[in-house]
Structure 1
Amino acid sequence: MQTTSLTVEKGSVELGPNVLSGVSLPAAVVYEDPLIHNVEWMQRFAEAHGARLAPHGKTTMTPALFHRQLQAGAWGITLATAPQCRAAFAHGVTRLLMANQLVGKANMAIIATLIEQGATFYCVVDSQENVRQLGRFFAERGLYLSVLIEVGVEGGRCGCRNQQEIVSLAEAIAEEPALSLVGLEGYEGVVHGDNPESGIRAYAQYLVDVAVELEAAQRFSEPNPIVTASGSAWYDVIAEAFRGAPLQGRFTPVLRPGCYVVHDHGLYREAQSAVMARRPDLQQGLEPALEVFAQVQSLPEPGLAIVALGKRDIGYDQLPIPLRRYREAGEVAQPLSVTGWEVTKIMDQHTFLRLPEEAKDVAIGDIVAFGASHPCLTFDKWRQLLLVDAQLNVKEHLATCF
């Protein structure tokens, strides 16, 4: 397990108020028990499949959550940009996997400084021009840069599109003394089609086959090269492919899901249901841990409530889902009904709720808990979230560093 000096700083912030009283709303909350469950569940899953876990930190950019993941046994933290890597390193994360191309001298300078300060850093490459640029820059700094070749798909995002491109790129890396080819990287989330599962299984097998071929050709500069993929929807399929005999004992498989840490009430809840259907042997699964609380601010006409919640507060890939309702300063154990409530529209600071005819008890100031889809796009709206217990008492302030 990676050691880390990361600490949670509470400063002079007063802890202890209840979300239903004493907290300015809207507020994003993370429930501690589901959070603990999710962190431990995914770590066990990775270890049971012979893989390392490098959770994607861009989901939360919350150092306190990085700390929990590392303490549970994570191999490192995945990031998407050089500034994200700098932020994570500043909070004690020393193994950084940037699942992206490192482009531009300013970004290269950020990473060079981190390496000089002791970071273990990896990034991906998919073009000979990027390889030449990186080789030149890091040679001038007197540093070595570990890179992984990104394996893409036609119509997808970045990445080499065929095996010949991969072999040629490996040759180009070998010609750069400052670069070290340490593995392969891919992302299955860009594989689509009428039968995505079949396509993703084929892609995962392709990653394995290419890795074995490059190893046989002695293209990797280190023993046990890295093979990494996996978002938060198909991690089980990737893990199964990586667990196969061709990689065992010869490679370091690394899984990179990120959204699992707080899960969600939309996209990833659906994806997790599919995982559990594919893998009935798995126990319990992930639990939603993230909600946003906001108050009814207007009841301007029958059947309509306006809540002080908007695009500035919660992700809106899918419309938020009303989960529960409380009276301000009410009892957590006595939620009020939101049956039949439906979000119909969301603006910058306002959410429109269609109410059923029987919703006669709604009052100004009522507090509604909302679930969201795709937690990345809720976390990035907050400078801090509230870690709460089951009774909605605030236990910790979770600062973000977007």
Structure 2
Amino acid sequence: MQDSLSKLGHKGTPELGPSLLGGVSLPAAVLHEAALAHNLAWMQRFAESHGARLAPHGKTTMTPALFRRQLEAGAWGITLATAPQCRAAFASGVVRVLMANQLVGQANMAIIAELLEAGADFHCVVDSEDNARELGHFFAQRDLTLKVLIELGVAGGRTGCRSVESVKALARVVDAEPGLALAGMEGYEGVVHAEDPVPAIRDYATRLVEAARCLDDEGRFAVDLPIITASGSAWYDLIAEAFDTAELRRRFTPVIRPGCYVVHDHGIYRQAQQGVLSRRPDLHAGLRPALEVFAQVQSLPEPGLAIAALGKRDIGADQLPEPLRRYREAGAVDEVLSVEGWEITRLMDQHAFIHLPDSADDVRIGDVVAFGASHPCLTFDKWRRICRVDERLDVTEVMDTAF
């Protein structure tokens, strides 16, 4: 009884055995090992071929086992978005942490101070003089030095200094704070919006490089080989290309930060990858979707309609999930049934409405369906446990998340 109670709250885990089709409580979030291993190696090769370091954005998965896999594959560090995320990553063995966000609030600063005292190699972002002074005062009082990166933003975008002049002014403030060390420049191209985004993102990357060189020429950096970093999961090729062609390696440490690559998706990043491959046909096959959510047909209440036990609490819904494959419960892995013409039309908390074509005359209650999702960040955060499976759909590892 006690062992059973210990599983409370952990949906999607093995109950009767390792087989995803017969032994796991569904729905379950699933990572396919073959695609995962491919993606880890693919992006690491990509970064190295452009002379860049890879610091994957960990907020995508918040899964320490995946952080370790990324570091083992050669990642330079892990990027996070918040102080508690950084603490969770450090507790799981991540020493080099890049927080691609501003550190605000005394409680969050206290978390980072503890990490620094414990030996973390931590960087965060600043974009205002007031924040820089507050950080400088807080960390100087504790005899600590906080390494910061100045963020260059875009008009109408999110955070970041809006001009090179404001970058230079902020660098002077950071330089005057004994509790701070200016360690580089940071940007994020995902907030660059234009009718033709490719030249606009290239222009932004050029501005980021120019700002970093300007600070270097003025002697503002407090470290050797300061960091220059940008890149989300959609335009990483343009950022890596800009850093590479600018030949920054002699003066800087170029770092790219894609996160969703590790599992890819069946939606917005699949579409973005098509853009990458059209610009860079030499990259060949590219990334592979590794994340799926498996769920069962729960009801066949009327002709042409199936209800799956899958909802917004289980899978990201910024785009409706995509039915990929179907199996019989406890059936053979190689006996794949058709989902051709299946379409999810509506998603509730725990239910997916699926329109079935007339040809779908073999559907049974309990059939197991694999669903693809868009934007993996919005699926991972719905799970405390993720199942990693082999080619036989046997669970080989249950990975904890740390949201």
Equivalent residue for 2:185? 184
Identity, in percent, stands at 69
- Give the whole-Å Cα distance in 2 for the aligned partners of 1:38 and 1:385: 17
Superimposed CA distance per residue, residues 136-155 of structure 1 (whole angstroms, 9 cap, x where no aligned partner):
10011110000000100001
Equivalent residue for 1:110? 111
- The yes-or-no answer on 1:142 pairing with 2:143 is yes
SS at match of 1:271: helix
Superimposed CA distance per residue, residues 60-92 of structure 1 (whole angstroms, 9 cap, x where no aligned partner):
000000000001110000000000000000011
Equivalent residue for 1:39? 40
Shift of 1:247: 1.2
- Give the whole-Å Cα distance in 2 for the aligned partners of 1:208 and 1:314: 38
* TM value normalised by structure 1: 0.96
Equivalent residue for 2:6? none
- Give the whole-Å Cα distance in 1 for the aligned partners of 2:383 and 2:304: 31
Q: How many correspondences in the alignment?
A: 391
Q: Which amino acid aligns with 2:152?
A: V
Q: Which amino acid aligns with 2:32?
A: Y
- Give the whole-Å Cα distance in 2 for the aligned partners of 1:301 and 1:14: 31
Equivalent residue for 2:343? 342
Superimposed CA distance per residue, residues 351-398 of structure 1 (whole angstroms, 9 cap, x where no aligned partner):
000000111111111111000000001000000110000110000001
- Give the whole-Å Cα distance in 1 for the aligned partners of 2:90 and 2:224: 26
Shift of 1:244: 2.0
Q: Which amino acid aligns with 2:58?
A: G
- Give the whole-Å Cα distance in 2 for the aligned partners of 1:255 and 1:180: 21
- Give the whole-Å Cα distance in 1 for the aligned partners of 2:140 and 2:54: 31
- Give the whole-Å Cα distance in 2 for the aligned partners of 1:160 and 1:222: 21
User: Are the aligned partners of 2:16 and 2:23 in contact in 1 as well (CA < 8 Å)?
Assistant: no
- Give the whole-Å Cα distance in 2 for the aligned partners of 1:361 and 1:245: 59
- Give the whole-Å Cα distance in 1 for the aligned partners of 2:50 and 2:203: 19
- CA distance 1:14–1:74, shift in 2 (3 Å): farther
- Give the whole-Å Cα distance in 1 for the aligned partners of 2:265 and 2:339: 19
Shift of 1:294: 0.4
1:3-402 alignment runs, 5 A limit: 17-402=18-403
Equivalent residue for 2:5? none
- Give the whole-Å Cα distance in 1 for the aligned partners of 2:367 and 2:179: 60
Q: Which amino acid aligns with 1:367?
A: V
User: Are the aligned partners of 2:15 and 2:25 in contact in 1 as well (CA < 8 Å)?
Assistant: no
The structure 1 segments of at least 4 consecutive aligned residues displaced by more than 2 Å after TM superposition are 12-16
User: Are the aligned partners of 1:212 and 1:246 in contact in 2 as well (CA < 8 Å)?
Assistant: no
- Give the whole-Å Cα distance in 1 for the aligned partners of 2:41 and 2:250: 24
- Give the whole-Å Cα distance in 2 for the aligned partners of 1:323 and 1:246: 43
Shift of 1:14: 8.0
Give structure 2 stretches of 5+ with no counterpart. 1-12
Q: Which amino acid aligns with 1:170?
A: A
Q: Which amino acid aligns with 1:307?
A: A
- Give the whole-Å Cα distance in 2 for the aligned partners of 1:45 and 1:359: 42
User: Are the aligned partners of 2:14 and 2:23 in contact in 1 as well (CA < 8 Å)?
Assistant: no
- Give the whole-Å Cα distance in 2 for the aligned partners of 1:119 and 1:377: 28
Superimposed CA distance per residue, residues 68-126 of structure 1 (whole angstroms, 9 cap, x where no aligned partner):
00011100000000000000000110000000000000000000000000000000000
User: Are the aligned partners of 1:15 and 1:395 in contact in 2 as well (CA < 8 Å)?
Assistant: no
Shift of 1:317: 0.9
Give structure 1 stretches of 5+ with no counterpart. 1-11
Shift of 1:15: 9.7
